[in-house]
């Protein structure tokens, strides 16, 4: 790899955000990009076909990887090891929000498990495999995503909020344990993303003030490109000012 070339691993690549990162980084010939996904969302099948078209000498796509299964993680680690010869960055885009707001008493056990596994367990378990590989290859930036709602303690989002707070705690722990080995870790706490899935859940939201997925790519790229370690472990909050957000109640915004 030349000095100018950067390498990125993007998990959850068939998510709306993951696919945006895939397009963002694969558009440059100086980037080496490794994409992986589990292919469980409604968007996955069409997204996976689009990701297939990105394949090249510098872009690899490995679908159907469950980040909570050791055999899949071993395969993922080996494929990344063979594809990327030196330092690389990991952007974790896997996640899940239930299709409707519910109090915890109304959530079934399998739904609770899916929220926790998709948002936290997959990140934690995959970190146990990818962080050591990053250290072997010279370090890199490890990025996870949280949500600004975790700080508001909104009702009907308890499990999702708890999982995202766990993400922030995990990232802070990684930033402390592995800094000397070249790892910088940050969490980006996002407001609502402007995606078809979010608009289906919140049809009355202040859509024009929602974050665009390409805006998130710019935020993360700036963080990776210009990082000197001073922000290591920090949670970066990303949202736009919205009069509806600051003037109307939470319940009015989601159920109006």
Q: Domains plus CATH for the chain?
A: 6-255 (3.40.50.720)
Q: In a 10 Å sphere around its CB, with 0-12 CB exposed, 13-18 middle and 19+ buried, how is residue 233 labelled?
A: middle
What is the Cα Rg of the chain in Å? 18
Quote the pTM value: 0.90
pLDDT along the chain (256 residues), means of 10: 77 94 95 89 79 95 95 97 97 89 92 95 97 97 91 85 96 96 95 79 73 93 86 89 62 60
Residue whose C-alpha is closest to residue 84's, from 140, 159, 39: 140
Question: What DSSP element (H or E) covers 9?
Answer: strand 6-11
pLDDT value at position 97? 86
Looking at residue 164, its pLDDT comes to 95
What local confidence, expressed as pLDDT, does residue 2 receive? 44
- The per-residue pLDDT for 255 is 59
């Amino acid at each position: 790899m030349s000095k100018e070339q950067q390498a990125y691993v993007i998990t959850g690549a068939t998510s709306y955000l993951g696919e945006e990162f895939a397009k963002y980084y694969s558009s440059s010939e100086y980037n080496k990009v490794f994409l992986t996904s589990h292919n469980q969302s409604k968007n996955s099948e069409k997204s996976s076909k689009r990701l297939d078209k990105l394949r090249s000498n510098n872009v690899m796509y490995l679908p159907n990887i469950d980040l909570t299964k050791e055999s899949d993680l071993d395969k993922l680690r080996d494929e990344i090891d063979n594809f990327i010869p030196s330092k690389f960055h990991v952007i974790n885009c896997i996640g899940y929000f239930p299709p409707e707001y519910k109090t915890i008493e109304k959530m079934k056990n399998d739904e609770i498990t899916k929220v926790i596994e998709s948002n936290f367990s997959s990140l934690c378990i995959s970190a146990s495999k990818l962080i050591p590989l990053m250290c072997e290859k010279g370090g890199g930036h490890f990025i996870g995503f949280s949500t600004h709602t975790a700080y508001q303690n909104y009702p009907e989002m308890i499990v999702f909020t708890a999982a995202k707070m766990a993400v922030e705690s995990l990232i802070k722990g990684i930033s402390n344990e592995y800094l000397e080995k070249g790892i910088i870790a940050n969490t980006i706490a996002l407001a609502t993303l402007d995606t078809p899935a979010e608009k289906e859940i919140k049809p009355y939201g202040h859509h024009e003030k929602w974050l665009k997925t390409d805006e998130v790519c710019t935020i993360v790229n700036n963080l990776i490109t210009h990082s000197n370690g001073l922000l290591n472990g920090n949670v970066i909050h990303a949202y736009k000012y919205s009069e509806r957000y600051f003037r109307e109640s939470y319940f009015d915004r989601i159920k109006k």
